[in-house]
Amino acid sequence: MGEDFFIEVDCQQKSYEGQRICGDIFLSSKVKEENRIILVLSDGMGHGVKASVLATLTATMALNFTKEHKEPEKTAEIIMKTLPECSERKMNYSTFTIIDAEQSNKVTLLEYENPECVIIRDRKILNPESRYIVLSSEANCGKKIRVCSFTPLKGDRIIFCTDGITQSGLGTPRFPFGWGNDNVARFAIDMIRQYPQISARNLAGKILNMAYRNDGFQSKDDTSCGIVYFREPRELLICTGPPFNKEDDVLLASAVQEFKGKKIVMGATTGDIVSRELNLTIEDVFMFEDPELPPLNKMDGIDLFTEGILTLNKVEKILKAYNTNYKLGKGPADEIVKLILESDAIKIIIGTRINIAHQDPHLPVELEIRRTVVNRIAQKLEEKLLKKVNVSYI
């Protein structure tokens, strides 16, 4: 990606009323060595398990073929050939939108039967030239795939969704033909006008909630809205563990002091070092929001100050389970995950001094060495949440 911006991605979803499983599937992948992000949203016909299985099949194929740099024609043809077709309606059982953001700053959109993506630049709709691939194989003769490419600029946003969004409100006096792409675009532009820096996560949530409202707070279809936002990166620093050499305490403290973004300090010893070296006051707080963890404390100039290894383990556990329907609580680990979700570029400094307390054989086995847990967290941040992560040791 361009050095001057970060690509923030988020997709918010609601299932068809009464269904636990969503028939829309969103998959993403970061091809690190190519500095490339691939996103796929697929809508399976119908609802529930069957729709979910078909959409998963489609999205997985689309992701893998796009990763391999197959030509759009080839990708589309293989997917369509593999997808089962409804014998009555003569239509494929799932739709797809593929977004491929490459290193050369070229973004390619591939769409079949999903609402057209909306690209917003400077609070106006951008309409890059598009072409249609008309499939020629016997099974899919005449079916069209829309393809378009553009070079993104900082501040651009792409809205991609399933027809649960555009058809919300269908049959109501206000939207007899559904909310529609134009209204979705107008609503998004209005939100950006009110909140110029609105995150991908918040904008996707607002569009999803409006579609839900259009349907009288009872989803008439599986509903998904995703946003890609080319933005100035929001930075977060996480420090955990004291430095290996005591004389490096001052280096750790200055790294915290000079960092421009949000800051999290984890671990009592780490907190004591930062507090001592920077002359910051620590205030004990006795609010136990999470029965599994010691409470948050307060330190001047630090956004979150928490316990160390137990909280790290809980952060990893939350990230593993996290999806768009996951409800975050108010505990220390939940608060860390909230800050992570609101950040793009995350710098983690790991102190490598062994904490004697964690060598106690009576402590639970899952108290793994800090470094291992942090590396697993970093991997999830990169692969699952598409964050830019830098891990350093001191």
Q: 71-75, 154-158, 284-288 — which is least confidently predicted?
A: 71-75
Instruction: Specify whether 192 is located in the same domain as 83.
Output: yes
- Residue 91 — very low, low, confident or very high, per pLDDT cuts 50/70/90? low
Does one domain contain both 212 and 310? no
Q: Is residue 277 assigned to a domain?
A: yes
Same domain, 186 and 171: yes
Q: What is the DSSP letter of 92?
A: B
For residue 307, being part of any structural domain is answered with yes
CATH no. for residue 14? Answer: 3.60.40.10
In a domain, 1, yes or no: no
What's the pLDDT score for residue 318? 95
Residue 45 covered by a domain? yes
Name residue, tokens 């050939």.
81
The 10s digit of each residue's pLDDT in 320-376 is: 999 877 889 999 999 999 999 999 999 999 988 766 655 555 554 444 577 889 999
Task: Mark whether 81 and 119 lie in a shared domain.
Answer: yes
Regarding whether 248 and 185 lie in a shared domain, the answer is no
Q: What is the largest CA-CA distance in the chain?
A: 75
- The answer to whether 386 touches 28, Cβ cutoff 8 Å, is yes
Number of domains in the chain: 2
For residue 271, pLDDT beyond 80: yes
Strand partners, 13: 224
Considering the domain architecture, whether residues 195 and 255 belong to the same structural domain is answered as no
User: Among residues 231, 258, 274, which one ends one of the domains?
Assistant: 231
Are 38 and 182 in the same domain? yes
pLDDT at res. 367: 43
Token pair in block for residue 388: 């830019």
* Alpha helix (H) residue ranges in the chain: 48-67, 72-82, 163-166, 180-194, 200-214, 249-258, 268-278, 309-321, 332-341, 370-383
Residues 323 and 214 in one domain: no
Q: What is the pLDDT of residue 88?
A: 54
* Res. 137: pLDDT tops 90: no
If you ran DSSP here, which 8-state letter would residue 328 be given? Answer: -
Which conformational region is residue 78 in: left (phi greater than 0), alpha (psi within -120 to 50 degrees), or beta?
A: alpha
- Bridge partners (DSSP) listed for residue 31: 36
Q: Does residue 240 sit in the same domain as residue 339?
A: yes
Range of the domain at 222: 6-231
Residue 139's identity, in one-letter code, is: A
Under 8 Å between Cβ of 221 and 169: no
Does 227 share its domain with 243? no
Q: pLDDT tens digits for 11-56?
A: 999 999 988 899 999 999 988 888 889 999 999 888 888 888 889 9
Mean per-residue pLDDT of the chain: 88
> What does the angle CA 196 – CA 200 – CA 205 come to, to the nearest 5 degrees?
100
Residues 6 or more apart in contact with residue 269 via CB below 8 angstroms: 241, 242, 308, 355
Do 218 and 104 lie in a common domain?
A: yes
Closest alpha carbon to 252 in 281, 284, 278, 280: 278
d(CA 96, CA 20): 22
CA atoms within 13 A on the CB side of 77: 12
pLDDT for 32: 83
Six token digits for residue 73: 């024609």
Domain boundary among 208, 231, 254: 231
Residues 201, 248, single domain; the answer is no
Residue 148 lies in a domain: yes
Q: Return the SS3 of 82.
A: helix
CA distance 56 to 62: 10
> How many degrees, rounded to 5, is the angle at CA 333 between CA 332 and CA 338?
95
218, part of any domain: yes
> DSSP label at 103?
T
- Among residues 231, 259, 277, which one ends one of the domains? 231
Strand partners, 119: 126, 158
